Amino acid sequence: MASISIRNLTKRYGNFTVIPDLNLEIADHEFVVFVGPSGCGKSTLLRIIAGLEPISSGDLYIGDKRVNGVQAAQRDIAMVFQDYALYPHMRVYDNMSFALELRGTPRAEIDARVKRAAALLHIEPYLDRKPKELSGGQRQRVAMGRAIVRNPKAFLFDEPLSNLDAKLRGQVRAEIKALSQELKTTMVFVTHDQIEAMTMADRIVVLQSGTIQQYDTPETVYERPANQFVAGFIGSPAMNFFPVEWRQEQAVLSQGGTVVALDGETAGRLSKAGNAVLGIRPEHFAVATDAADGIAIDVKLVEPLGSDTLIHFDLAGGPAIARVDPALRPKVGDRINLRPQPGKTHLFDATNGQVLR
Amino acid sequence: MTDAADTDRWIRRLNLVQLVLAGLLIMAPTVWMVLSSFKPSFEVTAYPPTLVFTPTLENYVELTRTTPFLSYALNSLIVTVGSTALGLLFGIPAAFAVSWTRISWPAILTLAARMAPGTLFLLPWYVMFRQVGMIGSYTALILSHAVITLPIVIWVLLPSFDGIPRSVFEAAQVDGCSVTRILWRIALPLVASGVAVSAILAFVFSWNYFLFALVLSNGDTKTLIAAAFNFIGEGSTQWGALMAAATLIALPPLVLAALVQRWLVSGLTLGAVKG
């Protein structure tokens, strides 16, 4: 078990820089999720930690040891791959015992560890089967079992749920979370799915173009996004953005001039900035009973989700979404008055997207 | 509807005609050779050729009585097995290294060597082997035949190694494997059928290769195919014995190919489609 420390790390492929000067500290026992859009460098970063990609410059420490030039085989970390990467010619048991056998672990101990991991993951009945005889979910568990038996310093997961169907994904997600609490080992998990990031992580690293946009707890990343990119990436449906201006002592949408009722603190920040981008999550709209109190919108599309209902509408020249109480039973064409909930709005710098605090 | 059915029928018939013609073209010399080997010696060169005859083993008896045929067969076996083993010994790691590093020029170099005419190597080899006193030795023949077997092994195995998902090798690295151990424990078992195919192809090509043995062997190490050349004499040619020898020489490659033909096709296309 160990911390992971990345200092001034750069990764280049030829003249193309994938990761420019990245710093990151992952504490011992911490579950950290790298999240970001395709091509943001999250998998590259994970492969660098694993020792499968060399570092162009900077330092990588696992525990107290600098491991820049250390082979993957000597790093004592375990990795679960997106396509599971099981050894097709070996039985499940041999897949799981292989790494221990390489380390010269006594046969009796190997047997005990494999059986313990198999029991933990409910794959005991499949120990004599070959990977091709297993379903996707079972293969996924074997891949995790192969990692667990080693008792490594850290676990690395490279989008391990992306090949599973939605139901199984939810189930395995919960299992990995439970496993992390039981094993108490440092875990780094890569995903492009922000729900996975939110539900599993102790801390989330939001990446874009190889740079860290925000590194914080899921709650903080959701409630206090550092910039417009993070605000738009975390949360589903995504946050709505509207350019706003401070005119005649009130906030108005730049396009259309509709007045928006903001709480005092947000209004104060906007008055200082003059103009900004207003961010409102779909769930942070409230239906105003008084027409003068809200923004009148026309419902374009209704998506009932059971627990709540999404309504789509156009505002300030762009599409927007609000999450409302299903009891409202809105219909297409209805006119509804919405207002942002006080204290739940975000203001971003109109030029660089950084949050205005 | 009827027109389409007619067209289909004609296409099927033409396909059949093509297959029969191609089959005849390929099989006729072989059939003629095998039949001739069982004809009495005076009938082998008879014109027009006799189709009905009383089969005899006379040519085979003559072959074994007048020539050390079994010794030549043993020579062929030693050279072929030796060069195939050498090809596998160096070809397997070489193909894996090319696949692993994605540096393909060494493999292309071996292919160029395979495509070059054998005479290109023969003269320098003859000089070199003579200087070290190796002319007529099995070692010289085995080494020279490795030029045939090595590229075959590399090029049959390369797509097989390429067909293994990279992540499987990476998983083995993370599990603690060195590159050498990944080859022996992970990659090689996964390309076993490719290894078998490459071994059979290397065996067949080496067995059939004529030129190097003709020049680099002596009376004790002459291979079957080079020895068969001796039947074509300056004054007279023993056609019957020559046919019997040719039939026996062709037998091992034909039997091997027939035994593994299905495997051969799948082995040659291994790695073309990822499973």
State the complex-level ipTM. Answer: 0.86
Same-domain status, A250 and A207: no
Among the residues of chain B, which ranges form H helices?
2-37, 41-44, 58-66, 69-101, 105-115, 118-131, 138-162, 166-175, 179-181, 188-190, 192-208, 211-216, 224-228, 239-259, 261-268
Same-domain status, A205 and A281: no
Q: Which two tokens stand for residue B68?
A: 């050390």
CATH number at residue A278: 2.40.50.140
Answer whether B171 touches A (CB < 8 Å).
yes
pLDDT for the residue numbered B48: 82
Structural domain of A61? 4-229
DSSP string, A123-151: -GGGTTS-GGGS-HHHHHHHHHHHHHTT-
Instruction: Mention every residue, 6+ apart, whose C-beta is less than 8 A from residue A209.
Output: A40, A41
pLDDT for the residue numbered B127: 94
Q: Which of A229, A248, A280 is the last residue of a domain?
A: A229
Identify the residue with better confidence: B263 or A321.
A321
Contacts of A52 in chain B (CB under 8 A): 170, 173-174
B72: closest CA among B254, B199, B244?
B244
Stretch (H or E) spanning A272: helix A264-273
Same-domain status, A125 and A198: yes
Same-domain status, A209 and A248: no
Nearest CA-CA distance, residue B103 and chain A, Å: 17
pLDDT of A120 over the 90 cut: no
**How confident is the prediction along chain B (275 residues), in pLDDT tens digits per residue?**
568 888 999 999 999 999 999 999 988 988 989 999 999 878 888 888 787 888 899 999 988 888 888 899 999 999 999 999 999 999 999 999 999 999 989 888 888 888 888 888 888 999 999 999 999 999 999 999 999 999 999 999 999 999 999 999 999 999 999 999 999 999 999 998 899 889 999 999 999 998 898 889 888 899 988 888 776 665 567 788 888 989 999 999 888 888 777 766 665 544 433 33
Number of domains in chain A: 2
pLDDT for the residue numbered B266: 60
| Cβ contact, residue pair A85, B177, below 8 Å | no
* Contact yes or no for B88/B151 (Cβ under 8 A): no
Same-domain status, A187 and A320: no
Local structure of residue B250 (DSSP, 8 states): H
**For range A263-281, the mean pLDDT:** 93
Give chain A's mean pLDDT: 93
Contacts of A149 in chain B (CB under 8 A): none
Answer whether B165 touches A (CB < 8 Å).
yes
Same-domain status, A19 and A92: yes
Identify the residue with better confidence: B107 or A229.
A229
Answer whether B178 touches A (CB < 8 Å).
yes
Residue listed under structure tokens 């072929």: B80
**Other CB atoms within 10 A of residue A83 CB:** 17
Answer whether A82 touches B (CB < 8 Å).
yes
Contacts of A150 in chain B (CB under 8 A): 175
**For range A135-163, the mean pLDDT:** 91
Same-domain status, A101 and A177: yes
| Cβ contact, residue pair B170, A72, below 8 Å | yes
**For range A319-343, the mean pLDDT:** 92
Whether A202 maps to a domain, the answer reads yes
Same-domain status, A282 and A188: no
Whether A356 maps to a domain, the answer reads no
Per-residue confidence band for A172, with pLDDT thresholds at 50, 70 and 90: confident
A233: closest CA among A210, A252, A257, A214?
A214
Nearest CA-CA distance, residue B81 and chain A, Å: 28
Same-domain status, A201 and A291: no
For the ranges A61-70, A178-187, B223-232, which has the lowest average pLDDT? B223-232
Same-domain status, A9 and A133: yes
Same-domain status, A221 and A290: no
Local structure of residue A73 (DSSP, 8 states): G
| Cβ contact, residue pair B173, A81, below 8 Å | no
Q: How far apart are CA B154 and CA B177, in angstroms?
A: 23
Per-residue confidence band for A110, with pLDDT thresholds at 50, 70 and 90: very high
Contacts of B167 in chain A (CB under 8 A): 81-83, 85
Q: If you count residue pairs, one on A and one on B, with CB atoms under 8 Å apart, how many are there?
A: 58
Per-residue confidence band for A329, with pLDDT thresholds at 50, 70 and 90: confident
How far CA A186 is from CA of A32, A52, A77, A181, in Å, comes to 8, 19, 10, 10
Contacts of B185 in chain A (CB under 8 A): 98
Whether A302 maps to a domain, the answer reads yes
How far CA B51 is from CA of A208, A228, B241, in Å, comes to 82, 91, 19
Q: How far apart are CA A232 and CA A324, in angstroms?
A: 20
| Cβ contact, residue pair B175, A86, below 8 Å | no
CA A240 to chain centre: 19
Whether A357 maps to a domain, the answer reads no
- In sequence order, what are the beta bridge partners of A311? A302, A322
Q: Which of A197, A229, A261 is the last residue of a domain?
A: A229
Q: Which of A185, A201, A229 is the last residue of a domain?
A: A229
Burial class (CB in 10 A: 0-12, 13-18, 19+), A287: middle
Same-domain status, A215 and A300: no
CATH number at residue A221: 3.40.50.300
Whether A36 maps to a domain, the answer reads yes
